[in-house]
Structure 1
Amino acid sequence: MSAPKAPASTAFQQDQFLQVLSRDDAEAAFLAALQPRPLGAEEIALDDLPGRVLAGDIAAPVDAPPFDRAVVDGFALRAADLFEASEVEPVRLRLNPEVIHCGTAPSLSVAPGTATPIATGGPIPRGADAVVMIEHTDPEDDAIAVGRAVSPGSFIAFAGSDIARGQTLLRQGTVIGAREVAMLAAVGLARASVWRKPRVAVISTGDELVPPGQPLRPAGIYDSNGPVIAAALRETGCEAVHLGAIPDDEAKLTAAIADAYAEHDAVILSGGTSKGAGDLTTRVIAGLGAPGIVAHGVALKPGKPLCLAVCAGKPVVVLPGFPTSAMFTFHEMVAPALRMMAGLPPRSTARVSASLPLRLSSELGRTEFAMVALTEGAEGPVAHPVSKGSGAVTAFAQADGFVTVPALADGLPAGTKAEVTLFGPSVAAPRLAVIGSHCVGLDAVVGRLVGQGMMTRILATGSQGGLAALTRRECDIAPIHLLDPASDRYNAPFLADGMRLIPGWRRMQGLVFRPGDPRLEGRSLPEALAALRADPEAIMVNRNQGSGTRVLVDRLLAGTRPVGYWNQPNSHNAVAAAVVQGRADWGMAIRPVAEALGLGFLPVADEHYDFAVWQDPRDAAALAAFEAALSDAVDDLQALGFDPR
């Protein structure tokens, strides 16, 4: 008799984290089990050395320079002959019948009262103890007249004065760059012993993953984790071997992980099952070797699902599937150990203090890393949160660094002076900070500024968020499209004293829907709204609060709350995608987005998209350049479907 089937609900049961560790406890357990150290040395050629780490000290086998040489073009002579030389009574020296160039050995000694012509880098001849610059001499047939005295050793680089034979040239642990290559070449070394790079296998897991470059199938997403983890590994001194994406099949995962483990020094996986039947990857790695999994679940945000294992001395890590979580946990928890295995010193981090314009909420009990972009405010740097969720990949490109919210805090109040850990060694404030409503037309204008070398930052917060940032002097330009119900005018009624409006363009907002929908196709706006209200199955998709489109939607709905009202994505593209994919039946977006996705479009408002600025800008020249770029972009804007004003 066959065993009874499990209830259907267990098909979505997931293994829970047995014990969620703090960040510090998880790191300590991982390092204690791994005890990371360099993996061994290898000798490589000079041309391949940049970026590698020396495995031992290097002593100079020869002097540099290897002989006394001239450092100027002039004449080698005896300093004593010029002891009484002056411009009034110059000393005449007879020229020896040879000229010393680089690479030629002198054949004649410099006797008292004589001098030998010598080029920069030429070996100093016997008898000479100084060089006089050619500019300080006058020719006289087969002699020169010198009108100034020189000291012994003048303009001579003595053998070993730069590098002495036996001197420790470079120390173990030095990261080789162009300067170090020059030092090695100067003493004739063509090879050096460096720590071997850890070979790290990278595997993405999930049925939904599609390799970049391949057609995107329904419900599929491109595998961004694999390439970005491989790139981060190379920045960490490792040799990354990207093995592609493996579906959520236990047999295939077991084989792929076992092969990767056998052939590499470490294995990094990202993601897990998409079926909700438990994390297959953790079950597979648990049997690779002792001590096995040392942490599964870490009190981090983003990054709680992180799994850290050490199997017979090799690190095996399962990073969270979402890109932001994967990168934060890699850099925070995994990269330090890999740097030790590569022989690299701990990574130095640059930090700046910046104020938070708004409260930064956090979940109590988990250390949170909040990505921020920096602008220059009236009282110094301002840190604007840019996180779009753990699944976002663009936030890293927009952010300058991150703010750490401690596990015992539920957030940081507005105005807090927070320490920002920078992603790079430094940060340069943008010439122009643009905060507010986003539009693809804005990208066309700003692209012209970037082409001129003007650094410009765009942060999409919605029209009202942009005006608030402009009021606080945290940005230079606030793109807005706000309709004032009282005056039926766009944008100007919302300006504070001291602000002005730069006219932008007009763009048509309307209801978007799938072609052929009888509730909207061929109807007037009042008829379409009546049909939607009458159909309880009609699902809308709204826009985020603070956006100009949301103001327009709320005015159109006149207080009603249709099904889907609280679904609030923050872009026109997201609204259109929801309709295309059937998750919603209608929403509000601009015409170019609707046309690009083949949606039906019912016009609602010919809105004005303008730019609020201060009359006394922080950088008048940069703002003038923006206005010029706006004027020059007329053709580009028209091609995108906008009506420049």
Structure 2
Amino acid sequence: MAELVPVADHVARILDTIEPLGVYGQSLLDAAGLPIAEDVVAPMPLPPFDNSAMDGYAVVFHDVADAAEDHHVHLPVVGEIGAGQAKLTAMSPGTAVKIMTGAPMPSGADAVVPYEWTDRGVAQVQIHQPPKLGQHIRRAGDDVEKGEVLVSEGTVLGPRQIGLLAAAGRAEVQARPRPRVVVMSTGSELRDPGQPLSRDSIFDANSFMLAAAVRAAGGIPFRVGSVPDDRAGFTEALHDQLVRADLVVTSGGVSEGDYDVVKEALRDTGTMWFGKVAMQPGKPQGFGVVGDDEVPIFTLPGNPVSAYVSFQVFVLPALRKLQGHRPHERPTRTARLTHGFTSPDGRAQFVRADYDSSVVTPVGGHGSHLIGDLASSNALIVVPEDVTSLKPGDSVQVLLLDEAY
């Protein structure tokens, strides 16, 4: 009997093979959700110029310092400055300039009086409340100084970082692309949802589930659909897809049956490893590279739970490394177990579970076909190879399946 490979060893094999995708310039929106591959330095201050924080009047502070409810200050209004319409660039003491929020401050002004503190006059304004010196002015560089690092290499670009980069005038950034992932299911019994079923056929859940998992991981999935249990047909379908693949994921056809065409088709390529990993579910695994471009390929087991758990444990770290994300592997959380259960000796077990506020409850049975229980789960309890039983209240490690990291 072939020796079982520890989960950590198989993960290491995969990550040693995978190389991050090349870096190139991408538009800001295309780069959203990706780690940036450069430090971006502010080419100018933010704000780039002194501007008004209020709709009101730009004034010289000393002209209005003694304004009060019983002592209005009267000033002639000599112009108006709107945002993006700055024709007036300077003003003299003893005058006021109507100014809109975001408009550049005219030279000579050192405060803004909000509309609410005035009679909103057009030719002349009456001011009944004084601002403080410099009040309601956004100074150039108040937010970001020129030369300051806006975003550091490795930062995942979310909406806030995208907004900052746009504010600094960056139209594109250096980042790795989203990996293109071909997803294939094997099995003559498989039918696409919406097609009629015969008495010996089932709907293809795996390719939809795995394609959705690829998308959730930041990749671009290309779902091929099901391939019959035919070696030549599988080989042709695979090689047709390699031209658009940075990575390939198949499900089914890697066990010990008479119709395990994936193993049969790829066994002799010299670049593939097929074996048994010390885990439940997901023991039969395959990994290697195929084609002239040596595209990494994961051959996962066909049962839905086995395929999904295998994706989380093996494929997800590879997708993250391709994109430059760190850490590669999903981190575990500590939780308290509500119900006890047993686990096989010598194999790590990944138990479907419901996690809530550091408490975790096993969900359903152990069958690797129980996709209903899988859909009801939001976590996997990770039981080490040398642990054979757990009791209520025990501390366990869990993988949170819907948590971004």
TM norm. shorter chain > 0.5: yes
Whether 1:27 and 2:11 are equivalent positions in the alignment is yes
Partner of 1:329: 310
Whether 1:194 and 2:175 are equivalent positions in the alignment is yes
SS in 1 for 2:211: helix
Aligned length: 400
Task: Give me the whole-angstrom Cα distance separating, in 2, the residues matched to 1:114 and 1:289.
Answer: 85
Preserved CA contact (<8 Å) 1:372 1:399: yes
CA-CA distance at 1:136 after TM superposition:
2.8
Task: Give me the whole-angstrom Cα distance separating, in 2, the residues matched to 1:188 and 1:262.
Answer: 36
Which runs of no fewer than 5 residues in structure 1 stay unpaired? 1-15, 427-645
CA-CA distance at 1:144 after TM superposition:
2.3
Whether 1:400 and 2:382 are equivalent positions in the alignment is no
SS in 2 for 1:96: strand
Superposition map of 1:198-597 within 5 A: 198-261=179-242, 263-272=244-253, 276-277=257-258, 279-288=260-269, 290=271, 292-293=272-273, 296-311=275-290, 313-346=294-327, 349=331, 351=333, 353-357=335-339, 359-374=340-355, 381=359, 383-387=361-365, 389-425=367-403
Q: 2:61 aligns with which of 66, 74, 79?
A: 79
CA-CA distance at 1:254 after TM superposition:
2.2
Deviations 1:428-463 (A, max 9, x none): xxxxxxxxxxxxxxxxxxxxxxxxxxxxxxxxxxxx
Task: Give me the whole-angstrom Cα distance separating, in 2, the residues matched to 1:333 and 1:342.
Answer: 15
Q: 1:41 aligns with which of 23, 35, 39?
A: 23
Deviations 1:551-570 (A, max 9, x none): xxxxxxxxxxxxxxxxxxxx
Larger radius of gyration, structure 1 or 2?
A: 1
SS in 1 for 2:8: helix
Aligned partner letter, 2:335: S
Task: Give me the whole-angstrom Cα distance separating, in 1, the residues matched to 2:95 and 2:269.
Answer: 81
CA-CA distance at 1:237 after TM superposition:
2.0
Deviations 1:181-234 (A, max 9, x none): 222322333333321222222111112111222111221111111111111111
SS in 2 for 1:124: coil
TM-score (norm 2): 0.88
Partner of 1:181: 162
Partner of 1:479: none
SS in 2 for 1:286: helix
SS in 1 for 2:311: helix
Q: 1:172 aligns with which of 153, 170, 182?
A: 153
Superposition map of 1:118-129 within 5 A: 118-129=99-110
CA-CA distance at 1:410 after TM superposition:
1.3
Aligned partner letter, 1:25: D
Taking a change above 3 Å as real, the CA distance of residues 375 and 45 of structure 1, as seen in their structure-2 partners, is closer
Preserved CA contact (<8 Å) 2:277 2:285: yes
SS in 1 for 2:371: coil
Aligned partner letter, 2:58: A
CA-CA distance at 1:300 after TM superposition:
0.5
Percent of aligned pairs sharing the same letter: 34
SS in 1 for 2:282: coil
Aligned partner letter, 2:11: E
Task: Give me the whole-angstrom Cα distance separating, in 1, the residues matched to 2:194 and 2:256.
Answer: 25
CA-CA distance at 1:271 after TM superposition:
0.4
CA-CA distance at 1:326 after TM superposition:
0.6
SS in 2 for 1:51: coil
Task: Give me the whole-angstrom Cα distance separating, in 1, the residues matched to 2:360 and 2:125.
Answer: 71
Partner of 1:112: 93
CA-CA distance at 1:321 after TM superposition:
0.6
Partner of 2:46: 64
Taking a change above 3 Å as real, the CA distance of residues 318 and 133 of structure 1, as seen in their structure-2 partners, is same
CA-CA distance at 1:58 after TM superposition:
2.6
RMSD: 2.8
Which runs of no fewer than 5 residues in structure 2 stay unpaired? none
Task: Give me the whole-angstrom Cα distance separating, in 2, the residues matched to 1:53 and 1:44.
Answer: 12
Deviations 1:466-511 (A, max 9, x none): xxxxxxxxxxxxxxxxxxxxxxxxxxxxxxxxxxxxxxxxxxxxxx
Task: Give me the whole-angstrom Cα distance separating, in 1, the residues matched to 2:135 and 2:102.
Answer: 14
SS in 1 for 2:346: coil
Task: Give me the whole-angstrom Cα distance separating, in 2, the residues matched to 1:413 and 1:266.
Answer: 40
CA-CA distance at 1:146 after TM superposition:
4.1
Task: Give me the whole-angstrom Cα distance separating, in 2, the residues matched to 1:341 and 1:47.
Answer: 19
TM-score (norm 1): 0.57
Deviations 1:567-607 (A, max 9, x none): xxxxxxxxxxxxxxxxxxxxxxxxxxxxxxxxxxxxxxxxx
Aligned partner letter, 1:27: V
Aligned partner letter, 1:97: V
Preserved CA contact (<8 Å) 1:206 1:274: no
Preserved CA contact (<8 Å) 2:253 2:261: yes
Aligned partner letter, 2:40: I
Task: Give me the whole-angstrom Cα distance separating, in 2, the residues matched to 1:139 and 1:273.
Answer: 79
Deviations 1:39-87 (A, max 9, x none): 113333344343333232333344332221101112111223344x263
